[in-house]
Amino acid sequence: MAKESEKLNSYNIICTGTIVSGEFHTPGNIRIDGTFDGSISTKGRIIVGPGGKVSGKIACQNGEFEGEINAVVEVEQHLALKATTTVTGDIHTDKLSIETGAVFHGHCKMKPREAENSSKKDKK
């Protein structure tokens, strides 16, 4: 039986030329170089390579996008949009980095910082 840490460090890979549709849930990391249409979630990291395409809903701990995303994206910690990516859809995340050249069409909602929340409460 695999340990929990081994599961989180492993990668599930959707290779170039592969098309997957439906629901995909895993505790480990995911790399998409093919096409995915549906709902995908992980407690780990999702990487969408330069040729990867995702449509639907994405939920993960951390993400790094280089391909084409047409989805609602929910990232617990950090999302990196690389220069080759195009994202169409709404993003909910704690931290967001966007490289020059990346394209983003949609809305972004970021989690409020704890320090800002506590200082606002202190002023009341």
pTM assigned to the model: 0.84
Sequence-distant (6+) residues with CB within 8 A of 7 are: 27, 28
Structure tokens at 86: 């195009």
75-85 residue pLDDT tens: 999 999 999 99
Dmax over Cα atoms in the chain, in whole Å? 57
Q: What is the pLDDT of residue 123?
A: 54
State phi, psi for 29 to the nearest 5 degrees: -80, 160
- Tally of domains within the chain: 1
113 confidence band (pLDDT: 50, 70, 90): confident
Q: Report yes or no: 50 and 68 within 8 Å, Cβ to Cβ.
A: no
Domain of 21, in residue numbers: 4-123
